[in-house]
Structures are given as structure tokens and as C-alpha cells.
Structure 1
Amino acid sequence: MGGAFSRPWRPLPKNNQDTLDFLKSYSPRNHEATHLRILLIGQTGEGKSTFINSVDSVLQGRVANRAPTDQHVTADSFTKKYKTYKFSKTNEGHYSFVINDIMGMERTKGVHVEDIKLALRGHVKDGYEFDPENKLEEGDLGYNAAPELSERVHVVVTVVPAGVVSLLTSDMIAKLRDIRLAATALEIPQLAILTKVDDACPKAQKNVNNIYKSDYLKEQVYKFSQLLGLPVNSIFLVKNYSSEINTNDATDAHILCALKQMIVFGEDYLSHLND
């Protein structure tokens, strides 16, 4: 799996509290939006729901498990519905951002790419259960005909395990590119997170502080950048909380780094709608 750099090739903020304070105080400057909406996309079992739980864990200061996950190896998506996750502040309401989980993308039984495109524009109602056999159509019960700005997606995040970047099929890359082009046409910003870094790199498994010191993981970031056409500075490495029973500052730092950039990109998009 290669060697390691003596210094991180991407430095992380030294103080998690600064990022937590930023997230706590964040509110969209565009007053038409009550919150900023982040949409996670990717194949089944790639860490979308686990990332939502990890974000909740960081914000709560304890390991949380709100988004259902499935450790069973299966081709079917465990997430069936379009679900919005809000995050509670301690006795202070909710954070001003939400994350949407969606059915995984697969060759046959997964969510339709066209359904994801509808979600980008806010046409998929919260709680809608995706049908792999039939695309959502205008007039269906799950179709939102007149979405408000808060119901639209403000930033798209592709989730892929670091160890499977080289294994992505041409069909899956084409689907991800299709969604990327649709989001770009709507001027929606896009990022990616490479998850399960501890499974992909023994050095990262040994010490989470080695994530951005690993040349193997850096190679995967650059490889994914070439495959999807995303800039390297829009791709983040994340160790999700999956086996831990307590949170720790080092794991928090990587999650917070990615999350803050999602908020920054999404806020840029919302702000520019008023230009």
C-alpha cells in the first residue's frame, strides 16, 4: 500500500472547536432558505448513512446511530426512502443544515439516475420510497410539483470507499458523471468523500492521524479526481464511526473538515442566487 509522508499533504484545522462554533453559528444569508441541504449519493454500502451517523456523533459528542445501516454484504440498498436528517443543538433547536440520504445506485435495482436529478431540483418529497422498477413521474404521490428553495439540493456529495476507487465500473462512473453534469447545469456545487480509509490503508487503521500522510490514499484521491472530473481540493478522506463506542478528536477533525467545506460550498451557491 506504499509509504507515508512525514507531514500531512493536506493539513487539518488544529482546533475542532473553531469548526464546531462555525457550524453552530451558521445560518444561510439567503433568507429564502431556512436551511442548507446536502445530498449524499453513491453505491450501496459505501458509507452514506454511516457518514450521517458520524456527523451526528461529532455534533453530539457521543457515538450516534440515527440513520439505519446494514453490515450484511448484499447487492440491495438498505436505504429505500428519501430522508432528510436534521441535527439538534443542545437546547438550541437545530443546526441550519440538513443531510439527505438516498437509495444506493446499482446496475439494476438501485435508484434511477433520473430520480436523483429530480431530487436536485426539489421534486422528490421527503419520505418517498424509491421504486427501482419505475422512475418518479410528475403527478405521482412522491412528486413535489412546486419545490421551495429549502427543498432543493444546495450541494451534492459523492461517497465512495477509498479502497474501491480502482474497482468502479465504467457504467457506474458514467452514472456519477451524468449526475455531476446535471448538477453543474444547475450550478450546484459538488464534493466527494472517500470513506473507509482504515479498511483501505493499514497506516490509517493504525493511526487516524496518518490519513493525510498516506501516499496510497493520496493516490486514490487523485485517481478519483481524474475519473469524475472533480478538483482534488473538493475530495476529502473520512474515517466514519462504525466500530467505536466513543468519539475522538482525530476522527472528528476529518469529518468536520469535510462537513465545513460542504457548508462553505453550499453557502456560496445560495448566496449567488441573489446576485
Structure 2
Amino acid sequence: MTFLQKLGFWRKKERKEPKAPLLLSKPWRPINWGDRQSSLQYMKDYRPQTDGQQLRILLHGPVGAGKSSFINSVQSVLHGRIYAQALTDNTSHDCFTKRYTTYNIQKGRDTFYPFVFNDIMGLAKDKGVQVDDIKLALKGHVKDNYRFNRDSRMSEDDPFYNNHPTDNDKVHVLVCVIDANTITCMHKEIEEKIRNIRKEATHLNIPQVAIFTKIDEVCPEIKENIQNVYKVNYLKEKMEQFSVTVGVPMNCIFPVKNYESEIDLNSDVDALILSALKHIINLGDDCINFNKSQQRHAMSC
């Protein structure tokens, strides 16, 4: 065998096997990217069956996951422009949200959407919001503007403790907001807190959703084109891992990109936010209707 033949043989041995494609041939979850107007109309037309009923959505999750940014992103989509009512902070790894805050979304000059968001202090390993405070919020016992104490739970004699919560005070959907890049390195203590909160919500018949944020940082294929979000198997695996670890079903986990550095809206970003919001509202409406039917049944017995 000549030297050139030996070199060619060696190169054949060193040749790497072709890598599996980074993108699936078709999305594993279909989404209508051009359905923005009908989705917006769905939000505008939504009305709870009971007059005066308000659908309350509570956001929780680790510090820095993007809870406040998600609220701003929802408002941006519904207002048709970049909106920043919920204050955020990019200069600190500490939790920026310190108070229990309700965000009403204006619909017209004197009208509001019949659903509200509640922002809460983030979860952390050694500090952050007390799990017991989140449980109290689920039951409607926390009044707006309550300042969270990292060292102790809210007491019943606190002036911000709501002794007689109404149906509007109680939470109808619990949303766990997660940075998609932190799934594999999330501290076990935070995972346990999320499971603990989820168990309480399940006991109260409150549906739960997970929002995966910062998906454009997960891989370059999504950053290049957000429509690849359901073609990236790596992101799907992260969602499946979170589903197994915490217990939230896959069909209740939604990847989104929050508006953070943008100054204009993007139709693809809007599509993911509206898809998540529509499912949240449907779950919350089912919760309200179920609770009402249970109350009517109890009264008739």
C-alpha cells in the first residue's frame, strides 16, 4: 500500500458519522402563526358566565425567570404596543418584586379585561418568598400591596391578611414561570418548593400551567427563527424533564419569548404569547365554572 493509499485509509477511519439534524422535519406541536387577529378577538370576547366575576392568574417561580416580563409581554400584545407596567430589573440577581401586586389590563377607555395577573416575590434556595405565603395567596387571603417577608410567613393578624376572601380574591390559575435555560441546573430545594405549591393548588382544584421563557437563548435555531420552537427536540426534552420532575403535564407547558429589548412587536412572538394566554384563560374559566357548580350542588343538598 502506497503512502497516499495509507493516508486515504486513515482519513476514512477518522471521518465522523453525520450528525442527526438539529431540527425535526415537522413541529411536534402545531401552532397557527398567522392567527393573531382571531386570537386577540377571542380575548376581547371572553366573558365569565357570572357577571362581575374576575379570573385571577397567579404567577410564581424562581427569581429572575421573567414573571414581570411575561405580564408586560401579555399587556404589550393586548395593547398593540410595547408596554411596561410591571417593573423589571436586569442589574440584580435578587428578586425585584417585593409586593403582592395585581395587574388589571385596560381594554377600553373605561373598561378592563375580566382577567387579572398577580405578581409575587420569586422562589430562591435560601431566600425569596415563603411557600406558605403563596398558599395563602391561592386561597385569596393576601391583600394587594402586601410586602413579603423572607424570614416569616404572613400572620392572620397582619393588616394585609384577608379574613373573608371572595371568589374574585381566590386564584383560578397557577402559572409557574421558568427560565428554559435553568431546567437542568435547578436546585433541588426550588424543585421541592414548586412541587409543594403545586400539591396545594391541586388540593384546591386550581389548574396549573408552566411558562418557559428565554427560549431564544436555548439554541441558535430558535434565535434565528422563533417558528422553529416546536421543531427543536432539545427544548422538547427540557419540557419533558420539567414535566416529570414537577408534575405539570406537557400539554400545560408553553414556551414563550418575552418582550425585553424590543421596541416593536413581532407577530411570531405574539403568536406564542397568545397561544399560552388562551389556554390559561380556558383553564381558569373551567375552574370558575366548576367551583360555581360545586357551590350550587352544595346549596341544593
TM-score, length basis structure 1: 0.96
Distance in 1, Cα, partners of 2:184 & 2:29: 22
Distance in 2, Cα, partners of 1:145 & 1:156: 21
Give the CA RMSD over aligned residues. 1.3
Moved segments of 4+, more than 2 Å:
none
Corresponding residue for 1:137? 155
After superposition, give the CA deviation of every residue in 1:2-35 in whole Å (9 maximum; x if it has no partner): 711132211113411111111111111134x521
Matches within 5 A, 1:1-275: 3-13=22-32, 14-31=34-51, 34-74=53-93, 76-91=94-109, 93-275=111-293
Contact 1:155 1:266 survives alignment (8 Å): yes
Letter of the structure 2 residue corresponding to residue 7 of structure 1 = K
SS at 2:87's partner residue? Answer: coil
Gaps of 5+ in 2: 1-19, 294-301
Gaps of 5+ in 1: none
Distance in 2, Cα, partners of 1:201 & 1:126: 38
Contact 1:108 1:132 survives alignment (8 Å): no
Could you say which structure has the larger radius of gyration?
A: 2
TM-score, length basis structure 2: 0.88
Contact 2:125 2:187 survives alignment (8 Å): no
Distance in 2, Cα, partners of 1:53 & 1:117: 24
Residues 3, 131 of structure 1: CA spacing in aligned structure 2 closer, same or farther, 3 A cutoff?
same
After superposition, give the CA deviation of every residue in 1:23-64 in whole Å (9 maximum; x if it has no partner): 111111134x52100000001110100000000110011111
Seq. identity, %: 47
Distance in 2, Cα, partners of 1:55 & 1:125: 23
Deviation at 1:248, TM superposition (A): 1.2
Deviation at 1:106, TM superposition (A): 1.1
Letter of the structure 2 residue corresponding to residue 172 of structure 1 = I
Higher RCO (C-alpha 8 Å, min separation 6): 1
Contact 1:2 1:216 survives alignment (8 Å): no
